[in-house]
Amino acid sequence: MEKIDFENSKYYENRELSWIKFDRRVLDEARDKNIPLLERLKFLSITSSNLDEFYMVRVASLKDMVNADYRKKDIAGMNATEQLAAINEATRELTKCQYSTFTNSLVPLLKQNKINLINEYEKLSAEQIEFVDNYFMDNVYPVLTPMAVDASRPFPLIRNKTLNIAALLKSNKEKENTMFATVQVPGGLNRLVTIPNEDGDEKTFILLEQIIERNLDKLFSNYEILCAYPYRVMRNADFTIDEDEASDLLLEIQNKLKLRQWGEAIRLEVENKIDDRLLGILRRELKLDNEEIFKIPGPIDLTVLSKLFDLKGYDNLRYEKYIPQQVPQINQDKNIFANIRDGDILIHHPYQSFQPVVDFIRQAAADPKVLAIKQTLYRVSGNSPIIRYLAQAAENGKQVTVLVELKARFDEEHNIVWAKKLERSGCHVIYGLVGLKTHSKIALVVRREEEGIRRYVHLGTGNYNDSTAKVYTDCGIFTCKESIGEDATAVFNMLSGYSEPLSWNELVLAPYWLRDKFLYLIKREINNVKNGLEGRIIAKMNSLCDKEIIKTLYMASAAGVKIDLVVRGICCLKVGIPGVSENITVRSIVGNFLEHSRIFYFFNGGEEDIFLGSADWMPRNLDRRVEIVFPVIDSKLKERVKHILDIELEDNVKARVLTFEGQYLKINRRGKKPINSQMIFCKEAKELVKKDSLSVGRVFIPTE
């Protein structure tokens, strides 16, 4: 039998093209006629937001490689130039589908439901035109800054992601010459402007840029407006920091943030009917090639559609809002620490409330027995109660240590604000580690009790963000097991100083130990199969693109290990390759909640091992971040986590299965009972609370 070369690039999918397939799965939700209309509109908005970030970071990084003449190939055998060409083709197809969905499906359905999006002035009545013109003079005109370009006024710096209007002007005095001018659409004004309608039951909107276009002549008196079209520039937002040379990391990041708005232009979006002369000026001044220009057959930047989601009076066009449920294991008559002493507690968000996590810090801040609180923060909400309680804890004399990761992309400025606030309150703040991002999710409370010092720990798969905890699916565990408490102390000593333990009891950390642990666990299943035992792996994550992990999974599949993967986003592994990946299935679940939990199951000859954690199977998570993966030890909690995996593997409504051809297809459920994993978890969470309240006669009173 011919030996298989598991290194062969043909066995691997390009990371960026796999990501575009993920965004297409999000777009498929916008195209699904079984989903309420405003939910579909939300998904369309998300695809646009996703694509923006993809270009600012991933495409920008590839362009940097091309500029640096970096020719190394990726795991799929493509160099940066080849990847950019393939991305350009795939993105144009995605954009075409986005706008086809918007124009041909969603706009007519909105109109049927009495929500009108006006895109042409000719469709307005005389009364509406008068209203819009008055609105311009009263609300818009005072805010605008027209910028002409001539010998004394150079082409202005166009900020990243801002919507602008480019115009060609002709002087009434010097008729031969044309001039270029640009106007930024004010970000501080609502882009969707409500205009009066004769039918009181209808909502009618017009885009702010259309109002400005119509009234451009008021900005350029003595000039004839030859043409005017909206445009938007995407810039490289992926800055790097020489942390070894930076004397003050916070100050260095603040300075870099200022440059993000003015990075190299990497993408230009223009209205598809734009005048060639205007386009030529923009292309020349922004130094862009033709393949970096996208002509858009509709409104530029569809993220604006998210503003329609909360429209009042249209509850029938949205899913019924789900309210996260009480955690039955937590008795409200006792404090959180007494509950944890009763046994480890697993919380499945957003099906179960994030409030116990907030209460953990809130009660610790006020509890006179608590001596210290230590926590890592990667992304937190805009008005974070956890930040507030950490500050109160320091003011109450507790020793509070917080690692605020300043390098959390696109949250840098936000996290700088929180770091300064915590410092002012007396907290000891660590600004991450040199060369690494701290992505782990851990909180430690040290409490003096009658028996002595006891450590309480929360570990999670998601951020300490009370807002996203309502829409991201994550798992977290509370425990006061001494073995984990010792490890938690070691983690924070490592983060705040130079202490590195010789061994760990339960926790597994990247970047030093986690890769080897995962490889060991996969190879153990291979050895079990070789010894006549069953081999089984189930892994759930956001992304899978680490070559060494994928290669080892291929080896496990070839040995006969059955592997089921639930990967929401990027997946560089290919399925169904004879002799390589015939025993591997991959599915992606895109639903009303964002699948975010990382769960790893290994059969281990019947002695099942289950781990939760913050890390995906990606090089950055395994090699360049501080990540924590932790075991599920309690047998009852193990069964709950196995149940989560089982239901997701049975999902035939929101799951799409990866095929040998590289496509993600919905499951044919003809004759089968529909199984929507997210809806099942919602139902089960409600039933658990109902069962608990009936059995013990308790009424749940939520805290603030």
Specify the CATH number for the domain of residue 233: 3.30.1840.10
160 is in an annotated binding site: no
Model confidence band, residue 704 (pLDDT cutoffs 50, 70, 90): very low
483 and 381, same structural domain?
Answer: yes
Q: Is residue 235 one of the residues assigned to a domain?
A: yes
394/441 same-domain check: yes
**Using CA atoms, how far apart are residues 20 and 27, in angstroms rounded to an integer?**
10
Structural domain boundaries enclosing 380: 336-505
Average the pLDDT over 464-492 and give the result: 96
Statement to judge: residues 450 and 576 lie in one domain: no
Indicate whether 701 belongs to any domain: no
Question: Are the beta carbons of 139 and 189 closer than 8 angstroms?
Answer: yes
Q: Which helix (H) or strand (E) holds 46?
A: helix 37-54
Q: How confident is the model at residue 700 (pLDDT cuts 50, 70, 90)?
A: very low
pLDDT of residue 703: 37
pLDDT at 627 over 90: yes
**Strand 655-658 relative to strand 584-589, pairing:** antiparallel
For residue 99, say whether it is annotated as part of any ligand binding site.
no
What is residue 418's predicted lDDT score, i.e. its pLDDT?
Answer: 82
Which residues lie below 8 Å from residue 130, measured CB to CB, with a gap of 6+?
Answer: none
Select from 169, 195, 166 the least CA-distant residue to 183: 166
Identify whether residues 92 and 63 lie together within a single domain.
yes
The reply to whether 553 and 636 lie within a common domain is yes
414 is catalytic: no
pLDDT in tens, 387-419: 999 999 999 999 999 998 876 666 677 778 888
Residue 164 marked ligand-binding: no
Determine whether the annotation assigns residue 568 to a binding site. Answer: yes
DSSP 8-state secondary structure symbol assigned to residue 115: E
Q: How many domains does the chain have?
A: 4
Is 185 part of any domain?
Answer: yes
Residue 347 lies in a domain: yes
Q: Do 500 and 522 belong together in one domain?
A: no
50 is in an annotated binding site: yes
- pLDDT of 410 reads 61
Among the options 348, 349, 439, 458, which is catalytic?
Answer: 439
Tell me the pTM.
0.93
pLDDT tens by residue, 428-441: 998 877 788 899 99
Q: Measured between alpha carbons, how far is 296 from 273 in angstroms, rounded to an integer?
A: 9
Is residue 542 in some structural domain? yes
634 and 583 in a single domain? The answer is yes
CA–CA separation, 304 and 289 (whole Å):
27
Inter-residue contact 460 to 476 (CB < 8 Å): yes
Indicate if 145 and 115 belong to the same structural domain: no
pLDDT at position 288:
95
**In the chain, pLDDT over 70 holds for what percent of residues?**
93
Tell whether 673 is covered by a domain: no
Residues 6+ apart with CB under 8 A from 541: 565, 566, 567, 568, 598, 599, 616, 617
Is 382 in a helix, a strand, or coil? coil
Task: Say whether both 583 and 616 belong to one domain.
Answer: yes
Residue 127 CA to residue 696 CA, distance in Å, equals 63
Please check whether residue 330 lies inside any domain of the structure.
Answer: no
CATH code for the domain in which residue 473 is found: 3.30.870.10
Which of 55, 90, 119 is a domain's end point? 119
Query: Tens digits of per-residue pLDDT, 222-240?
Result: 889 999 999 999 998 865 5
Q: Which residue has the tokens 């350009």?
A: 88
pLDDT of residue 412: 72
Token pair listed for 417: 């604000």
How far apart, in Å, are the Cα atoms of 638 and each of 56, 272, 330, 480? Answer: 40, 55, 18, 17
Q: Which two tokens stand for residue 322?
A: 């789900």
In a domain, 178, yes or no: yes
CATH number, residue 105: 1.20.58.310
Residue finishing a domain among 85, 119, 153: 119
Identify residue 345 by its one-letter amino acid code: I
What backbone phi and psi angles, to 5 degrees, belong to 156? -75, 160
Q: Which of 446, 480, 505 is the last residue of a domain?
A: 505
Give burial (CB, 10 Å; 0-12/13-18/19+) of 693. middle
Q: Mean pLDDT, the chain, as a whole number? A: 91
Mean pLDDT of the region 87-114: 97
458 is in an annotated binding site: no
Q: Are residues 382 and 466 in the same domain?
A: yes
| Residue range 662-672, pLDDT digits in tens | 999 999 988 89
- Indicate if 450 and 598 belong to the same structural domain: no
In this structure, are 514 and 448 located in the same domain?
no
Question: How far is the first Cα of the chain from the last one, in angstroms, to the nearest whole number?
Answer: 66
